[in-house]
Every structure is written in structure tokens, then in C-alpha cells.
Amino acid sequence: MAKKKTEGILSGSILDVPFYKIPEKIKLAEEHGLRVIHLDIMDGVFAPQISFGLNFARQLREITNADLEAHLMVVNPENLVNRISDKLFSRIFFHYEATMYPIRLIESIKRNGIEVGIAINPSTPIQSIEYLLSEVDAVLVMLVEPGFGGQKMITSMIRKIEQLRLLKEHLGYDFVIACDGGIKIENAEQLITKGANELIVGTGIFNSPRFPRVVSEFLDLLRKYYS
Ligand code: DX5
Ligand code: ZN
């Protein structure tokens, strides 16, 4: 990804895009400026659905130049991470709740030259991951419970974004504050003003009646705060 961590990032989540439409939708979104594709990898255990795996990600790599970021919603993320030795992903988010040894996992992702992000469920407070903030490139605040696209944002989660921004300023750390779930063009600005600099958006992009130009609308909004 190799971007300044204070840059505004829009990441398109394709979880709810029908498979046969994925190439066409990605192409249109890229034409409107989308540079990051978010892949929700779920195992049916940590999160209720089974979505895509590494083979699918490798196929996707063939059809787009966008950065791919993985959001692992799986138990034992170590097993999957050990099978990713190439530069398939620019960044891997794993869930704090899914591993007993987050520091080891962070180190093994970094060893592969991949950016590492830690994701937290709505039930996990920021305090739980405070000790990891110096080690990660990004933190993903889930605004919904993992598993499905198109859910409604839990607005009380916005406070966590603010808490993270304050910690980041106070401690002088440099990590991306990402948020995921229920983001639409109408509620995006409040997330940015609280401190989010990466918006992960699924149905708010790909199912929007204004697709694909809604991609430019999100990017304009991010540019307003992160030039
Ligand atoms: C939910 C996933 C999200 C999902 C977002 O578990 O992590 O990335 O695809 O979809 P929307 O933006 O529709 O909530
Ligand atoms: Zn996700």
C-alpha cells in the first residue's frame, strides 16, 4: 500500500457483489478512482458465512491493479497467514478476538512485507488493543457485527474512532484508522471528522443507485479532510 498513513483511503468491499458481476463492477469503480479492494474472508465459524478464500483472491489479482486488502474473519488466522507468502495482499487485517497470540501474528505478517491491521468487533473495547497500537499499520473498527453486508451501523461505535484518534495523537503513533460496516455516503462525513481515514464500504458503493459515481463522491469527501 505504501501510502502515508494520514492519507484518506476508500476501500471497496465486494462481499455482496454477485460473483458474475465482480469484474465489471470493479472495472467501473476503478474508472471512478477506487484503488483498494477489500476482501472479507470468512470461515463460517468466526463469522456466520463462508465467503472467499485465497484461490479467489489470486484470481482477482489477475483482473485488477488495485491493492487487495484481506479482512480475515476466521478462527486460527495463523493457519491462513502461513499460506500467504506472496504479495497477494497489500494489507492483512486479522481479528483480535480470533487469536491468542496477536504479537506473534503481527510479526509473521510483517515478515512477509505485508502491512498489518488489527480489527475489533463491536464488543471489544479499544483498551484491549492499546498495547498493540505501536506495532500495527492500521486498526479496523467494526461498526457492525461481522458476517454480512448491508447491515445498519451501530452508531455508538463512532466513539471508538474518536478514542483511537486521541490515543494516536497522544502517543504520537502513525496508524490508519479504518472503519467497516454500514457506511453510506450520507453518514461517512461524521466518521471522517471523528478521525477515520479509511472507509471500507460495500453496499454503500456497489449497490448504490448512484454507482459508480458514488465512488468519486466518497473520494471527494475524503479529499476535503485529507488532501
Ligand atoms: C462485514 C464485512 C464488511 C461488509 C461491509 O462483516 O466486514 O466489509 O462487506 O458491507 P457494508 O458496507 O454493506 O456494510
Ligand atoms: Zn470487512
Average pLDDT over residues 205-209: 98
Q: Which of 91, 144, 208 to mutate to test the pocket of ligand 1 (most atoms within 8 A of CB)?
A: 144
Residue 43 annotated as catalytic? no
CB 105 within 8 A of CB 126: no
Q: Is the pLDDT of residue 86 over 80?
A: no
Q: Is the CB of 12 under 6 A from ligand 1?
A: no
pLDDT (tens digit, 9 = 90+) per residue, 40-70?
999 999 999 999 999 999 999 999 999 999 9
Q: Is the CB of 25 under 6 A from ligand 1?
A: no
Average pLDDT over residues 178-194: 98
227 alpha-carbon distance from chain centroid: 21
Q: From ligand 1's centre to the CA of 38, what distance in Å?
A: 9
Place of cell 469484474: 23
Q: Provide the whole-model pTM.
A: 0.97
- Alpha carbon distances (Å) from 77 to 9, 25, 168, 177, 207: 25, 29, 26, 21, 30
Share of the chain above pLDDT 70, in %: 98
Q: Is the pLDDT of residue 4 over 60?
A: no
pLDDT (tens digit, 9 = 90+) per residue, 109-159?
999 999 999 999 999 999 999 999 999 999 999 999 999 999 999 999 999
Return the pLDDT at 90.
96
